[in-house]
């Protein structure tokens, strides 16, 4: 690999000393070398994903017949379906609660309490430094209290995980929302609305929100992707979410687990790819 880099820098350097024809040829050679150097990377990242798909569409082992049996079996497994439903609900609740908590606070701090902006930023980004595993150790006693106050019919419902998930998604949401709020003039917009007689609720919902819509979408997609992949908090607090159920199911039938894991992964990949396009459209719009 090191040999490839030195060669790359050499060929990248040579055009300046040679003629025009040579320059075009060596530029082409550079491109070929670049593609060749990227091949091992592509292989390393593609093989596990291909194996995942391959494994979930073969009966018995990798030499078995091609079949979609495992994918169909997801629908026949009530445990997996309940876990899937709960994880989707969790993703929705987490996004809504986190947005309801962060958007008004961030707008309010910008307008009225600029001194607190650094504090809010620090607190929002703090979960990046405190690993989820550490958080879960400390959340243990708090979740005992939550379980104590949960009505009996909702006992052991994983939806209470939303309390912890809001904290986990905060750093990513904060960054997305901060970028959106920076692009608009919050003060002028809200003062204009206020002077026309709008209340704070109207300002928030009908003036600020539509203006930062793509940032809100961005933040929600990130939260959904994160919640659907979450394993640490749920498994250590003994709640069954999607990932915990997939992991448990692996003991009964690896094929079905792998199929569901692949399905969840494809869904998250699509979400995150959509996200990278939302982000790009906004940045190009800003560039104009």
Residues of span 124-153 touching other proteins by CB under 8 A: 126-135, 137-142
Nearer to other proteins, 26 or 235 (CB): 235
CB of residue 89 vs other proteins: minimum separation in angstroms? Answer: 19
Stretch that binds other proteins, among 18-26, 79-87, 207-215, 223-231 (CB under 8 A): 223-231
- Among residues 22, 24, 32, 51, which is the contact residue for other proteins, using CB under 8 A? 51
Handedness of CA 120, 121, 125, 126 (dihedral sign): negative
CB count within 10 Å of CB 163 equals 16
- Assess 54 for contact with other proteins (CB under 8 A): yes
- Assess 120 for contact with other proteins (CB under 8 A): yes
- Assess 15 for contact with other proteins (CB under 8 A): no
- Assess 101 for contact with other proteins (CB under 8 A): yes
| Cβ pair 207, 180 in contact under 8 A | no
How remote is the C-alpha of 87 from its chain's centroid?
Answer: 14
Count residues near other proteins (CB under 8 A): 83
CB of residue 216 vs other proteins: minimum separation in angstroms? Answer: 17
User: Which of these, 248, 265, 132, 110, lies nearest to 189 by C-alpha position?
Assistant: 110
CB of residue 83 vs other proteins: minimum separation in angstroms? Answer: 12
- Assess 273 for contact with other proteins (CB under 8 A): yes
Pairwise CA distance, residues 138 & 145, whole Å = 13
3-state SS class at 58: strand
How remote is the C-alpha of 40 from its chain's centroid?
Answer: 26
Nearer to other proteins, 98 or 212 (CB): 98
Residues pairing with 58 in the sheet: 66
CB of residue 164 vs other proteins: minimum separation in angstroms? Answer: 6
| Cβ pair 176, 214 in contact under 8 A | no
- Assess 265 for contact with other proteins (CB under 8 A): yes
- Assess 231 for contact with other proteins (CB under 8 A): yes
Helix, strand, coil shares, percent, the chain, to 5: 85, 0, 15
């Amino acid at each position: 690999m090191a040999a490839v880099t030195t060669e790359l820098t050499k060929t990248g350097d040579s055009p300046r000393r040679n003629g025009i024809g040579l320059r075009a040829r060596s530029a082409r050679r550079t491109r070929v070398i670049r593609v060749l150097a990227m091949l091992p990377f592509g292989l390393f990242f593609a093989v596990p994903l291909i194996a995942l798909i391959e494994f979930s569409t073969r009966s018995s082992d990798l030499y078995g017949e091609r079949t979609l049996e495992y994918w169909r079996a997801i629908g026949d497994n009530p445990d997996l379906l309940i876990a899937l439903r709960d994880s989707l609900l969790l993703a929705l609740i987490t996004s809504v609660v986190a947005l309801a908590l962060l958007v008004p606070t961030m707008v309010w701090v910008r307008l009225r309490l600029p001194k607190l902006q650094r504090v809010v930023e620090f607190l929002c980004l703090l979960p990046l430094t405190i690993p989820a595993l550490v958080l879960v150790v400390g959340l243990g006693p708090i979740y005992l209290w939550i379980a104590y106050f949960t009505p009996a019919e909702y006992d052991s419902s994983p939806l209470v995980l939303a309390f912890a998930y809001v904290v986990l998604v905060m750093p990513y949401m904060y960054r997305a929302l901060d970028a959106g709020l920076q692009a608009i003039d919050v003060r002028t917009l809200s003062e204009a609305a206020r002077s026309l007689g709008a209340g704070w609720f109207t300002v928030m919902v009908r003036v600020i929100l539509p203006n930062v819509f793509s940032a809100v979408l961005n933040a929600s997609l990130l939260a959904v992707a994160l919640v659907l992949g979450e394993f640490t908090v749920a498994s250590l607090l003994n709640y069954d979410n999607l990932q915990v159920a997939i992991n448990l199911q692996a003991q009964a039938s690896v094929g079905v687990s792998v199929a569901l894991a692949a399905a969840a992964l494809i869904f998250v990949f699509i979400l995150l790819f959509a996200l990278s396009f939302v982000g790009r459209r906004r940045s190009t719009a800003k560039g104009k």
